[in-house]
Structures are given as C-alpha cells and as structure tokens.
Structure 1
C-alpha cells in the first residue's frame, strides 16, 4: 500500500516538473523568436529621431541579448538620457561580445567610450586602468588628460594634453583639448595659490610659487583664447565649439560677454536634447548665475527623464531663489532636487540639496526641520566619504567651501540650545569633521574604528581623564567638557573667530620673546577662557589627566603653558596633558617594551642646512636608558632607515632630525642624511614595517599660523594606530630638547605612562632651569 502511494506521488512530481520545463522552454523559444523580430532599422530611426525612451522600452526585454548592436543602442540611449551607470553596464556588455567576435576595432572604440563615461561619473582611476591597456594615440592621450584633470593631477594632465595637441589633426578634437588644457592651467594655478597660503611669508618657496601661479594663469588665458579663435572658424557650432566659448567667456569684459552670451544661448538652443546639452546649460549657469540657463537645463533633463541632471538643475534653481530670498520657491525646488537625488541614491547631490534645504529652513526660522535636513546632509556625506577621497584629489581644495561648512553649520545649529543628546551629536559631528579633514589631508582612508580594543568611554573612565573639546564658530567659541564618568557640560563664549585668532597669534608671538614675560597675559587669558569655568567640576570628579581636542588654530597652542594667575602655576603643574583630534581616535596604550630604535642627524645637511650638535648626546642618553640601537648621521640614510625598519620592526621609534609639518602633505617631511623623507613615504613605511607603541619626533616644527599643520603629525599617529606620539610645536634648542628627552625616557623606564613621563620632564625643566614656556612647552603628546 505504501509503495503504491509513493509511486503515485513520484508520478505526480514528474508531471509537474515536465509542465514547468515545458513552460520554461516555451518562454525561451518565444524570447528568441522575438529577438529575431526586433527591427534594427526601426531602432535606428528611433535613435535618429531622439526617441531614446522608446528604444529603451523596445530593447529592455532583451537586455541580456548576445547581439552587440542591441547593447550599443541601449548603452547610447541610457547615456543620452544621463543614466550613465546603466550606459557603462551595457557598453561593457557590448565590448565583451565584440571581444568574443575578435572585433578589435570595436573593442578599442568601446574602451574609449567606457573610459570617458568612467571619468564623467567620477571614477578616473578606472578610466586610467582601461587606457593603460591601450596603444598610445591622440584619443588615449586626450582621455588620460581628462582622467588626470578630474583626479586633480593637473601637471600630469597638462603634459598629456600637450602631447595630444602635437599629434591631433581634427579641429573638433583640437577644440576639446585646448578647452581642457586651459581648465588644467587654471585649476593648477588655484591649487598653487592654496599651497602658497599655507607657507610662511618669509619662505623662499612662497616666492617661487608666485612665479608659477602667474605663469599658469597666463597660459590658461592664452589657451582659452586659442580655443576661442579656432571656434570662430567653424560655421556650424557643436558641443566643442560651445565649450570653447564658455572657456573664454570669463575673460571678456561686460560688453563682449553680453554679445558672446547671446551667441552661446542661440547655439545651445539648436543642439539636440541630450545629457551633454544639459551639462553645457548648467556650465553656463555656473558662470553667469542666471535663472534662464538653469530652467533650460531643467526642461531638457525633464524631457529626457534624466534624474541625475534634474537633481542638479532643481538644486541650482533652489539656490538661485535662495539667493533672491524667495524662500517658498527655493524650498519647493530644493525638495524636488532631494526627490530626484533619492531616486538615484545620488548621495553627492543629496548632501548638497539637503544642506541647501537646511539653510532655507534656518532662514525662515524652522529650526527643527533645519536640524533634520542637516542630519540627512551629514548622513549623505558619510556615505560618500570614500568616493570623495578616491575620486578626485581636487576635492581637498574644495573642502573648505563644499564640505566643511556642512559640518560647521550643523554644529552651529546644535549648539544654540544644546541638550545632552545634542552634545552627544555634536561630538559625533565634530569627530567626523576631524576625520574628513584628516582624510582630505592624506587623501586616504585614515581610520578604522573596529581597530580599537577598548571604547573611548572605558579608557577615559579608567584613567580619570577629562576631555576639553573646543569648537570655533564665526561669532562664538564653544567649549564642551566631558568628565570621566561621561557627563558633559557646555559653555558658549561670545568672541568672534577673527578676534580669537588674533589673540592666538599674539600669544604665539610673545612665547618666542624669551627675554620678557609678555606671554603671561595671554597664558592667563586662555586659562580663564578654557579652564577656569570648569575647575570645580574637575576637582569634584577627581580628574587626574586632561585631554584637549582643539579646533582651528587652538591646535597649535601649548595647553601646558596656560597659567593660573591665582595659584601662580602652569596647567602642566596641575595635570598631565595630552592632545587628540577627536574622541573616536582615542585608543588604549599598551605597556612600553624594549628595544628602542633611534635615528638622529647632528650634521648640517641640505635643504635645511642647520646642525643639531646635541643630537649625538640625545641618542647616546636614550641608548644608556633603554635597550636598543642608534643610527647617527651617515647611518641615517633613507635606504638605511627603510632597511632597519624592515628588519627590526620596532615598537618604540625615536627620530631626532629636522622636520617640517605644514598644512600640505607634499611639503611635510623629515630630513635624513642623504635626502628628505616625505610624509607619504614615512606613513607608508610605518604601515608596512612597524607596530609602534611610541613615536618620538624631537626636532620638528609646525607652521604656527596654519591650523592644518598639526594634521601631519596627528594623522600619522591616527592612521597607524600609534597610541602615543611625541612631537614639538616649534623647534626647540637642541640642548634643551636633549635634556627634556633624556628625562622623558628615564621616566618611561620607571614605568610611568608617556603622558605622565612628559609632565614630569616639563615640570622639572620649568622648576630647575627656566620658567619661560619657550623652552619646555613646545612638546606635544598625541594620545591618552
């Protein structure tokens, strides 16, 4: 009976399986039949008529087709409508099918198309990888230049464009190359200006940069004019002609600009309605900032159903009406931009539109809605952090205009009447700002939270550390104190950032006047500003250590030199002091173990050409105190340094040599006997060959007028997860430095934690040798 029942069930299962496969095979046969029925001539006609939506509708059921022409029409239609990711997907499929057919001409052609689109969507590295596999030609050189231009490698881009121009024969390609070359010169001049601003006024490099800036600005104008002159010879304006006109437009006087503007608009209106046309209208709007151009872009994008361009056009319309203080219209367009950006998960557009929405809500007094909009902008920025870093080095020069204000504005709103919840959010936002600044500085993903063994709150509680977090806003200074148990207190002080920076610069200047006590007024002022309001709370909470997380130029001030005029003692005499960039960067410090590896340069070597005779004694004293090896002068070559790190993999690394920490990674370096070790090389070497618990840089200096100067020193520590990094804010006389360093290592040898070891060494110096902070306050410990 059971056997019969089983047989019956098996027959039933076989019957259903047969029906399932019959339907499946029928569907496949129908699909193949339909594939054969698609009229490619009809598709071609639709394409010529600009009916890209219909093409996508006709061919979408067959998007897995092995017919490369289907893939090409789909790719081109998606590209024309601005759906560039889908376009890339289908161009790749078409190329793969041509590869199977061994059609090398089509494969080469489609690689070039894909490379251009990768550049447009912000993936210049992918484009460069593709182009490196191809033979050198005018087309590849031009696209390499485009990729390098987007990536922010302007000098290399200029070189590529110039090589292509020597070989080019087609007028259209020449126009495009000249426009891009002009843009590369212009952007290079802007970058050099940014770099120049971060250098000291007396720097020889600053003068050399001025010459380079003028040269690049002149070449940008000359090249733009060449493109303009060539465009004038063409009877029928096209995309490249209009780009050439737009490149020259900013250089014209008002009368000539008005005349050219009319010509540009007339030509633009004759172009077919494509994504490229939308981009040109948007470019024009960026130059002249008018409603008409943005509306034209918006209308074409709407016709194409180009969501990416719609998000941009709607946002720009919103911005236009925001600038006119027509807030209802501004809000309506901005919220439409958010809708289209959300639909595409276009987080770069979403952060910009959400930030704009927040500003508009603030302007009309809707604080709660503004806070929610800032929250969305903050979330979107975090989503694209890695893309901002990897896609373009140019982003670091837009950071102050395009990214940092989002964080600052959000902080300003949260700090108006902060609750404890608001203060927690402030900490998160400020830490993210610091992280973004670091990643922007290094152009690298600097920090991974998962690397921490203990949460910051546990470390602070265990060590009885109070955190003092300063936030500088345009019209106020905010101080947030976090006690060891986690309670937070907030104080707002009405001082503008300009006034604060002036006081900081005055104090820095007075600190260098070793023959006077003028520094005391400023030392007392900053003590009263940052410490006095919270002293009773420190006492009640039994605080044993202070950790400063400072903002702006306050990073460059020696907190150890704050002076309590009532008790007549420096802050370092009361507490061990450390510094960090944010709570999320706090990591636990393991017990220090021998050996120490110490490098030093006592001789005068270029480019600084200044000897440090006491470095010899400094290294000998370290060797006497701690087990380890020392390498002096000729033994401290760059190659030797690399080899020793590779073979010995130290936990404690001491380097006594000249070093310059500026606000630009390219001009931050350490000096070895034979050549400089730039910041990126040093960072990479530590990452590959060291697992440090302590890094000491005892003869370096930071650029005192530059708030980003400390990022180099702090960034290396944070990127490599080094719990303790000791550096100097300014160059200390090497005899004094050797004395303090000796005492510091003696204290470490007695099992003092680094922060306590530094405190004892500094207090001993001020009590026994010199009370003036110029000699002992430069030492800065980054860690806990």
Structure 2
C-alpha cells in the first residue's frame, strides 16, 4: 500500500532530481580538492553520501569520476542496497578514518559527539593526540571533557575553530541532553543570524559552514518553541542549503512547516509542505516523513476551513497507510472532517472503526477520547439514550484502568448532562458529590478548580445562592493561595453576581471597589463582559441609570462585532455565551424601564440578524471563495481583533479605549477587504425603528419574537406604537413549547395547548383595526405558526372544526427580521432571470443507495398540475424523475424566477448549511445529494423557492434553528423568499396544497395571500386538524409573481374615477385660492 502512496506523490518528484544531487556533490568534492574547509566539506559529502541508497549511487558516481584519489579510497568500497541500508556504524567509522588521517580536529570532535556513548574513546583520542598534537587547538581538551561526560557546555568552552560543525553536532545529538540544554539556555550564538543575512547573495549557496549555522538555528529555536523567531529566518532557506543528509533536511523542513502551523500561518505551512517537504519525502521514499507531512497538511487545511480538501488528504492516508500505530489519529481526523461536511453517517462509521482499532491496540486513552466524541455527537442530535450509552462505556473503561482523572472528568460531564438536559438538580449534584466524597478529586490545582466551577455554575443557575457563595469563597481561597490572579478575579466577580441577585447592594459595592484596585488585563473576553454587565447593573440599581446604559453601549458594540465573526463552522450560528445573555437581558430591560423601546427593539432585532450578517464568515463559504493566503490572513487578523476587544473592555481610561478602538478599526478595515471577496453584497446597516414604522400600514401589526436565554421578548409594533412584553422562558417552558410542536407534527394536536399560547401572548385581544399580522418568529415559534392558533377557547382538545383560527381572521406574513420586512416592499419581478418557472420532482427513490427514502407518488403529478395552473407564466421547465439531476439543478436554479422542488430534502437543525436536497445523478451515476452551502456559489436570483415534501434530519419535523438556517442559506444565495413545510404531511395533501397555492399566485395574488388561500382550502375541505393544513410557512418577500392586466370594464371605471377625482381636486384648489385672495 505504501507503493501507491508514492505513486500518488509522483508528481512532486520532478522537483528533486539526480542532477541536483550531482551539482551539490561536486561542490563539496571541488572544495575538498582545493583544501577549503575540509572538516565541513568532508562532513557534508559524507552526510549526503549516506542519505539513501539512491543518493549513495549518484554521489558515488561523482566521486569515482573525480581526480581525487583519497576520495575514491574513502568512499568507493562502500556499497548500499535495500537489504543493507543501515550504514550508521560505517559512516561514523569513516568520520574517524578521515579525521585521523587528515588531522581534522573538528570532524574528530563531531565523530565523538555522534558516536554511541557506550563506546570507549580513550585509545582513539590518545592516538589522535599523539599524531596531531601540533595541530590540536588549545581548547580541544576543555571541549572533550563535557562531551564525553554529557555535562553542560559553558560558553567559555565553545571552540574557536569548527564552531558551527561542533555546535550542530551537539544540537542534533538527542542523547546529549545536558549539552543541548546548555546551548539552548545560553541562547545559541544568535549573531549567526546577522552573519547569514549579511553573507547571502543572489546565488544559492551550498557552503556547508552556512548550512551548519542555519541548521543549528532552526533546531535551537524549534526546540525552544520560538516559532515566530524561527519563521523570521525561514527566508534564508532560499539562499542556503539545509542539511546535506536528505533525511535530516526533511526534518528541518517539517520543523519550519510545523512552526508556521503553530503561529496560524497555515498557508505558509502548506507551501513548505507542497514545495519542499513532500517532494523531498517522495524522492527519498521516506514513509514516516510523508505520513506526518500529510497529517499536518490535513490539519492545516482543516484550520483554514477547507474541509473537503482536508477530507481528501485523510482519505488518501487511510487508504494507503500501513502504519497501524497512527490509524486511530487518522480515523479520528477523517471522521471529524466528515462531520464538518455534514456527512454524519460517515462520521459515525469512521468513529466506530477508530474505536475498534483502539480496542485491538489496547489504547484505552484513545478509546475514551472517541467515546466522548460519540457522546457529544449523539447529544447534539438529541439522541440522549445513545449518548449516555457511550458515556457509560467510557466510565467503565476508566474504572478498569483506575484512571481517576478521567473518572472525575466523566462525572463532571454527567453532572452537566443531568443539569442542562434533564434539569435534574439532584442527579447533577450526586455526580459532583461522587467526586468530592471519593479519591477521585485529585490534589491537582486545576482539577479542583474545574470541580468547583461546575458546582458554582449549577448553584447559581438553580438560584441556590447561599451554596454558590460558599463554593465561591472556597474558590477565592485556593486561587489566592496559588497567586492565581485571573481565577481570583473570577471568584470576586462571581461573588458580586451573587450579592446583586440577592439584593445585597452594599456588599456588592465593596467587591466592585476591590476589583477597581486591580488591573484586569489578564481576564478573558467573556469574563470581562460579565464584569462590565454586573458593575453597570449595580450602577443602575443604585441610581446611576443613564450612566449605566451609556457604559454598556460600547460593551454591546464589541460583543455584537465579535459575534459576527464567531460563527460555528458547522451550524452557521454564533454561540450565545451566558455572559452575552446576561448583558443583553440587562441592557434590554434597562432600556424598557427607561421608556426607550425603540433602542430595545433595535437591539433585539440585531440579535436576530447577527447570523445573517455573519453568514459570509462561514468557513465553508470562505474556503470556496478565498485563497489560502487570504484565509490565513483573515484568521490572524480576526484573532488580533478579538484580543484587542478584550483589551478594550478591560481598559479603564477613555484615551486608552480610544487608542485600542482605532487599532480595532484599522485591523477590521483590513479584514473587510478580504471578506468583501466573499460577500454577494455589503452587510446592511442597522435600520432605525422609525423607518420600519413608516412602512407599516395602519391596519398592520408586527409581532416580533426574540429569545434571549431564559427570556422571551414580544414586541408588538404598529405604525405609531411599540409595546414590548417580557416573558420568563426557562427550560421547562421551552420544553413545554417543544412538546406542543411535537404534538402538532405527529398529528396529536391539542387545541388546549395551542390556546394556551394564544392567551399567553394575548392574541385574542388584538385591536379590531388590524386585519394583517406580520410575524417575525424566533426558534421555538418557527415550529408553531401563529396561523394555527385558535382565537377562542375550544370545547375539547380535538374539536378542530368548531374553533376559529387566527388565519381565518388575519392575513399573515413571516419574516426573519425587521430588515427583511423592510425589503419585502421591493418589487423584484423579472430580475436577472431567463426562466420563469423551473420544477424538479422525483417520485421513485428505489435506486437511491445512500438513504432509504419512501416513494412520493404524487410528486410528479403535483408538478404537472402546477404546470397547467400557471397559464400566465410562459417560460416553464420541468425536470421529472431521471431528469431531476444535481448537475441540471445547479445549472438551471440560478436562471429561474420560481424554483419548485418536490423530492425528499433534509433540513437539519444541527448543521443547516448542510441541509440536503436529494436529486438524481447523471445517466449511469448514483444519486447526488445537494447541500445548501453548494448554492452559495450558484448565485440564485429566485423570487421564490418552494421545498415541498421535505423531512427533517431530527425526525418528522423541522427545528426552529433548521428553518432559520435553510432560510438564511437560500436568502444569502439570492432567493427572495422560501416556502416549505415544517413537518411531514401526506403526499397527496402536499400536492393539493401546492396546486392551490400556485393557482392563486397565477391570479396575481401575493405569495402570502396565496399561502393563506391554500391553507383555508385544506381547512374547509379536509381534516381541520392543524397538522394537515398548517404545515407550510412562507418566509420573505411576498410580492406577486405575475402582473395581471386590469380588465377592460374595470379600466374604464378606474379612468372615470381618476377623471372625477382630478376635477374635484382642481375645483377645491381653485376655491381655496379664491378664498385666500378674497381675505387679503
């Protein structure tokens, strides 16, 4: 299998050739012939000679062709073959022979340094000194003592001659630990850097003295972890040769590549690997070099967001690798690449294969890592029983191996699960007590901190503030004893939070006074946000209300800006940390209490649109559009900006903040130049609320929902009023809403549950002046369309035909934000489209191998019926069955105003950017799933996309985040609106719904009116259970898709009205002028 690995890398070999080696070998041979630097040139020629058997043959040919008889004597009888290619002992014997016969003290010292330490050098040293006493430098004896003893080599014993050769020998000898450390600790002569910089010329140099200096610098800086300094001298590799031993040369290139990786210059790391390391590894057939390089290459590509390329690298290694020792790491890396690409089945399969490999190799630590990964994966898809099964197995393995550290970590994971998922305080504390009441709680300082932090977190979340305070005081005590300022500040901030929540303002004030005495430069961004939030809450509660809000505004700005660049690589969503939740809830409630509803609403909508503004920051999208250099530079700039944001929040003076802000702005501008290459259009500015209100008609009411942690905000917005209500939306309430939605999706609809929502939000008390409701949902409320809510209390839970639903009274529209609502009034008719309607339908899925998908017998019929209804849309393309291919979809989707898909699709909650539409492959090919992120480069210009008969990856319904995710993805790609069903419905009902929907669209009605017509049709003629008629939601632009001409009779009547109105206007205008004139 290794053979195929090198065949794969064959294209690299052209960069290394026998001719290159011939030039290098002749350089050393000619210098030896001229007696130039004999110690160094004999060393270089010997190292090159013994690199590999292939190199040995090339160099030996040059030696035999030379006129130097001594060279032939030394090298001509040494033969290398694949059977006997370990000539280390032969090489060092040759060093001794050459140095002894030629009197080369530097090469003799190098021989002693590099030879096995169990060898007795007494006789050889004595013989050398006897013959060459007159040539031995005075410091030679002082040099040999530490070398032979393996003790530290003080700077005063550095040799005056052959310095570079001897120091390189020490540094490259792994066994000489004390010698190596002494050189590193004494900061190896850094003046060599200046020498090399000054001596370089336009011609590449094989000078072995310079090679030795450069090699020593690389080894020393790499071992010392001075990666940035190391990279500053990388340019010298363009002028000076690295080690003539090609194996050592590959190690040095790997060190440079790894250093680039470590400082985030993944593009340069890849350049070194592609242009230097892999070609060299392929040439010398160095299996380990190639494998390690490819592993690093895969990791670099992964860090840049190039998950597809990373996956291919790992797949190649798994296919061609015969070194079982690294199979676990390979399989783990490859499986994570699959996960990032939305290929969940492959992820699980590879993780299980890695688990089996770890079991066979008895690598229990690897098994624990894999089991934890599987636990977190199944936890993320809400498969709790499977998740716990893997965690249980991890616990058993840790017990078998008496690994207390792992057991402690597992108990903390259990505690987190029981509290976060099951909301079971007793079980969570039992798990933590199992650590406290046993030997599992080690004396390790950081283990104790982790344990205390988890207890504090749970006690604060459960509002058990007295116990939280007890644990915080313990936390404070041990951090103080260990002079751990960062965690000591965290303890103080936690105590201040407890005092505020228990209304002990005086004690909170004392803590803030203490915190102000310290510089908080070393606390992280999230903790700084919490500190600023709590301190301004204190100010607000003690009377400084305006000051508190003014002080929070820059904090909000930094958090929002940070959030826009902190998108999860898989889901496309930003992570709302608890510290951010506290900040936003505190700020919004302060604003509401001060009567500033406009700013509160603006902030709430900004929270909803962060994911929109940041979608271009998705690694998948950026990796498809940016070069590796841009990707690496973007990451570096982003990291610098994030560090500066923390400095900004921790800076106490206004001048200091101003300076940091200017740095942030400058770096942000540089980053914007890169990101503008990705964006379809520039991000929209924040819209003032009064502009929104100016676009609301008098009969229209907007219901704007926003979830922020355990609070739900409902803003009722009309043209002249904003009213914001705040609801407690804790875990139990969220679970209750989740249950309501599950019941609807499974046709177990409970009208009492739905009416509970109506009453909660007072939707039955909407003033009579409104007949149109615009809904901007959030998360849970995407799964429960307000259309289906009963306006009066039902007689029974299933008296579906006896209640009036909201849709029967109101025309409803849905948007994801106020920004999208504002854009809804923009007519996009006919923009950039050459086809009016394109439809893709598949009914038979028996040939699909990757998924077991049920047939959709009405899908094809649905398209044909719609085609008949669209009499006022001329250019229509239908792709049915085998013609509904991924290739055709990608070619035609961007050309169509209306895009209709009637096939299976999977809209995922966990990773909506990988939401899937199942299409056929080209003739003779298997099915080809289309992922949402692939549409980013398609440049859609659709007025509407309708996904019919979709099923969710989380069951028979869509989660709210999945709806938001697919909507954002399609909207980013250019679609103006999206129609989709939120849960699976009967194939026949889906077909009837779509036909009626398009029939209304064909009559010139708006999309929202047409959606309402279709729902009312099903409600009136079919089963009144909302499950059957309420599944569909239209999100986005509602403009009609046809422009119906006005009928002739109506035209004449309209003209008459215009004529009469014009006459009346002229009369009143004349009359008013007459009156005004007569009054003068």
TM-score by length of 2: 0.50
1:469–1:481: 8 Å Cα contact kept in structure 2? yes
2:1004 aligns to what SS in structure 1?
A: coil
Matches within 5 A, 1:509-524: 509=743, 512-513=746-747, 519-524=750-755
Partner residue in 1 for 2:837? 596
User: In the alignment, is residue 614 of structure 1 matched against residue 858 of structure 2?
Assistant: yes
Q: CA deviation at 1:596?
A: 0.7
Partner Cα distance (1:585, 1:89) in 2: 46
Partner residue in 1 for 2:325? 166
Q: CA deviation at 1:208?
A: 6.8
Compared with structure 1, are the counterparts of its residues 650 and 456 closer, same or farther at alpha carbon in structure 2 (3 Å cutoff)? farther
Partner Cα distance (2:304, 2:479) in 1: 27
Partner residue in 2 for 1:757? 1010
User: In the alignment, is residue 549 of structure 1 matched against residue 776 of structure 2?
Assistant: yes
Partner Cα distance (1:628, 1:696) in 2: 15
2:842–2:884: 8 Å Cα contact kept in structure 1? yes
2:530–2:579: 8 Å Cα contact kept in structure 1? no
Unaligned runs of 5+ in 1: 1-39, 169-177, 200-205, 229-248, 266-280, 300-309
Q: 1:430 aligns with which of 593, 607, 616?
A: 607
Partner Cα distance (2:763, 2:787) in 1: 14
Q: CA deviation at 1:663?
A: 1.2
User: In the alignment, is residue 708 of structure 1 matched against residue 961 of structure 2?
Assistant: yes
Compared with structure 1, are the counterparts of its residues 250 and 508 closer, same or farther at alpha carbon in structure 2 (3 Å cutoff)? closer
Q: 1:632 aligns with which of 869, 877, 880?
A: 880
User: In the alignment, is residue 774 of structure 1 matched against residue 1027 of structure 2?
Assistant: yes
Matches within 5 A, 1:428-507: 428-432=605-609, 435=612, 450=682, 461-462=694-695, 464=697, 466-472=701-707, 477-483=712-718, 485=719, 487-493=721-727, 496=730, 498-499=732-733, 501-503=735-737, 505-506=739-740
Partner residue in 2 for 1:572? 807
Q: CA deviation at 1:488?
A: 1.8
Matches within 5 A, 1:318-333: 318=492, 331=512
Compared with structure 1, are the counterparts of its residues 394 and 227 closer, same or farther at alpha carbon in structure 2 (3 Å cutoff)? farther
Partner residue in 2 for 1:116? 262
1:472–1:478: 8 Å Cα contact kept in structure 2? yes
Q: 1:730 aligns with which of 958, 983, 992?
A: 983
Partner Cα distance (1:397, 1:254) in 2: 38
Partner residue in 1 for 2:110? none
Partner residue in 1 for 2:239? 100
The more displaced of 744-753 and 486-495 is: 486-495
Compared with structure 1, are the counterparts of its residues 257 and 370 closer, same or farther at alpha carbon in structure 2 (3 Å cutoff)? farther
Compared with structure 1, are the counterparts of its residues 656 and 375 closer, same or farther at alpha carbon in structure 2 (3 Å cutoff)? same
Compared with structure 1, are the counterparts of its residues 511 and 214 closer, same or farther at alpha carbon in structure 2 (3 Å cutoff)? closer
Partner residue in 2 for 1:241? none
2:214–2:242: 8 Å Cα contact kept in structure 1? no
Partner residue in 2 for 1:202? none
Partner Cα distance (1:614, 1:662) in 2: 24
Q: CA deviation at 1:655?
A: 0.2
Partner Cα distance (1:376, 1:531) in 2: 36
Partner Cα distance (1:313, 1:74) in 2: 37
2:839 aligns to what SS in structure 1?
A: strand
Partner residue in 2 for 1:669? 916
Partner residue in 2 for 1:528? 759
Superposed CA offset, 1:630-667 (max 9, x none): 1122222334433444xx72221100112232312277
User: In the alignment, is residue 584 of structure 1 matched against residue 805 of structure 2?
Assistant: no
Partner Cα distance (1:128, 1:222) in 2: 42
1:695–1:726: 8 Å Cα contact kept in structure 2? yes
2:233 aligns to what SS in structure 1?
A: helix
Partner residue in 2 for 1:192? 377
User: In the alignment, is residue 659 of structure 1 matched against residue 900 of structure 2?
Assistant: no
The more displaced of 430-439 and 589-598 is: 430-439
Partner residue in 2 for 1:173? none
Q: Rg larger in 1 or in 2?
A: 2
Partner residue in 1 for 2:410? none
Partner Cα distance (1:655, 1:722) in 2: 14
Partner Cα distance (2:379, 2:880) in 1: 36
2:941 aligns to what SS in structure 1?
A: coil
Unaligned runs of 5+ in 2: 1-153, 159-166, 168-179, 200-209, 244-248, 279-287, 328-362, 407-431, 454-474, 500-506, 623-677, 794-801, 1038-1080
User: In the alignment, is residue 340 of structure 1 matched against residue 521 of structure 2?
Assistant: yes
Partner Cα distance (1:187, 1:131) in 2: 32
The more displaced of 126-135 and 748-757 is: 126-135
Superposed CA offset, 1:265-297 (max 9, x none): 7xxxxxxxxxxxxxxx7x884466555775688
1:614 aligns to what SS in structure 2?
A: helix
The more displaced of 575-584 and 287-296 is: 287-296
Compared with structure 1, are the counterparts of its residues 494 and 256 closer, same or farther at alpha carbon in structure 2 (3 Å cutoff)? closer
Partner residue in 2 for 1:562? 789
Compared with structure 1, are the counterparts of its residues 473 and 724 closer, same or farther at alpha carbon in structure 2 (3 Å cutoff)? closer
Partner Cα distance (2:753, 2:549) in 1: 37
Q: CA deviation at 1:166?
A: 2.6
User: In the alignment, is residue 682 of structure 1 matched against residue 935 of structure 2?
Assistant: no
Partner Cα distance (1:402, 1:641) in 2: 44
Compared with structure 1, are the counterparts of its residues 127 and 473 closer, same or farther at alpha carbon in structure 2 (3 Å cutoff)? same
The more displaced of 553-562 and 64-73 is: 64-73
1:355–1:377: 8 Å Cα contact kept in structure 2? no
Partner Cα distance (1:187, 1:124) in 2: 28
Partner Cα distance (1:195, 1:475) in 2: 20
Q: CA deviation at 1:402?
A: 7.1
Partner Cα distance (1:357, 1:454) in 2: 24
Partner Cα distance (2:890, 2:550) in 1: 50
Larger RCO (CA within 8 A; separation ≥ 6): 1
Compared with structure 1, are the counterparts of its residues 600 and 579 closer, same or farther at alpha carbon in structure 2 (3 Å cutoff)? same
Superposed CA offset, 1:167-213 (max 9, x none): 79xxxxxxxxx99957853662353133331x6xxxxxx87777666
Compared with structure 1, are the counterparts of its residues 322 and 497 closer, same or farther at alpha carbon in structure 2 (3 Å cutoff)? same
Superposed CA offset, 1:647-697 (max 9, x none): x72221100112232312277422224667657x23323532532111000
Q: CA deviation at 1:783?
A: 0.6
Q: CA deviation at 1:780?
A: 0.3
Matches within 5 A, 1:30-69: none
Superposed CA offset, 1:752-771 (max 9, x none): 22122212222233234444
Superposed CA offset, 1:99-143 (max 9, x none): 33243745542332231232xxxx777766765664363764675
Matches within 5 A, 1:71-90: 90=229
2:766 aligns to what SS in structure 1?
A: helix
Compared with structure 1, are the counterparts of its residues 226 and 678 closer, same or farther at alpha carbon in structure 2 (3 Å cutoff)? farther
Partner Cα distance (1:574, 1:356) in 2: 48
Partner residue in 2 for 1:355? 530
User: In the alignment, is residue 650 of structure 1 matched against residue 896 of structure 2?
Assistant: yes
Partner Cα distance (1:598, 1:630) in 2: 5
2:909–2:960: 8 Å Cα contact kept in structure 1? yes
1:751 aligns to what SS in structure 2?
A: coil
The more displaced of 654-663 and 312-321 is: 312-321
Compared with structure 1, are the counterparts of its residues 715 and 635 closer, same or farther at alpha carbon in structure 2 (3 Å cutoff)? same
Compared with structure 1, are the counterparts of its residues 397 and 687 closer, same or farther at alpha carbon in structure 2 (3 Å cutoff)? closer
Partner residue in 1 for 2:62? none
2:581–2:709: 8 Å Cα contact kept in structure 1? no
